[in-house]
Amino acid sequence: MPRTEDPQDDTHGPRVPRKSVEFLADAMAEHRAARRRRSLIRSGAGLVLIVVALWAANFFLVRQPVDEALAADTAAARLRLTARFQWYLDPTTLVLDLRGGDPAAPEAAFRGLLVAADAMRREERTFGRVVLARAGTPVFVLSGGDFRVLGSGFASARNPLDALRAIPPMLRGTAGSGAYGVFGATLPDPLGERDVDATARRWVGGVR
């Protein structure tokens, strides 16, 4: 009898059609892309929530109280003075940003400072420092303690001019760590100013 050879075993298993392989590869690629899209959506949603939370904190804690106090004060009602935290993140530093003032009546800017200090006193908000800025540029800095003194003094002052005269000696420069410094940075020494009109004009004019 002729000798027959045993058929060799197929060690590769059943063959998968090429179209099936391509379909599986496409499905896996689409799955990975969908996971990346979901991850990006979650990251974007988280970022939006953070931005909204920061905006809400700045608005309700400092901006709204100052806006309402300025609107209720006849002498400062037309002043464009906004309040926010430093970088919108640092609650230890209040930034009072003067966006519009009357060069012919620069003392109105200091009146706005007093109104803002009184508003924060009534809200029981305290700060380590207060930056007086002009259109985003820091001009002067106050210590948080001096800011509280101004708020208390304005609330009890019989003569508003006395409260205004108390401001210039408290003002500090913005050199070094003065204004937008790191958290807890040391404040510079007071400038020793005395002239209300001259220092108010510096703030209104954005002159450091």
Q: Give the model confidence (pLDDT) of 125-138 as tens digits.
A: 999 999 999 999 99
Inside any domain, residue 47: yes
At CA 77, angle to CA 51 and CA 56, rounded to 5? 15
Domain of 158?
Answer: 35-205
Inside any domain, residue 122: yes
pLDDT of amino acid 20: 66
pLDDT of amino acid 101: 73
What's the structural domain count of the chain? 1
The b/e string for 21-55 (b: 16+ C-beta within 10 A; e otherwise) is eeeeeeeeeeeeeeeeeeeeeeeeeeeeeeeeeee
Measured distance CA(134)–CA(6) in Å, rounded: 95
Measured distance CA(107)–CA(128) in Å, rounded: 25
Q: Are 84 and 62 in contact (CB under 8 A)?
A: yes
Inside any domain, residue 3: no
Separation of CA 51 from chain center: 10
The runs of H, that is alpha helices, within the chain are 18-58, 64-72, 107-122, 144-156, 160-165, 196-205
Inside any domain, residue 39: yes
- Average pLDDT value for residue range 16-45: 72
- Mean pLDDT for the chain? 83
Whether the pLDDT of residue 181 is over 80: the answer is no
Measured distance CA(167)–CA(140) in Å, rounded: 11
49 or 95, higher pLDDT: 95
16 or 138, higher pLDDT: 138
Whether the pLDDT of residue 205 is over 80: the answer is yes
Q: How far is CA 27 from CA 15, 18, 38, 132, 142, in A?
A: 20, 14, 16, 59, 62
Q: Crossing angle, helix 107-122 and helix 144-156, to 10 degrees?
A: 90
Inside any domain, residue 145: yes
Other beta carbons within 10 angstroms of residue 162's beta carbon come to 11
Inside any domain, residue 8: no
User: Confidence class of residue 177 from pLDDT cuts 50, 70 and 90?
Assistant: very low
pLDDT of amino acid 176: 47
Inside any domain, residue 9: no
User: Confidence class of residue 23 from pLDDT cuts 50, 70 and 90?
Assistant: low
What proportion of the chain, given as a percentage, has pLDDT over 90?
Answer: 49
Whether the pLDDT of residue 178 is over 50: the answer is no
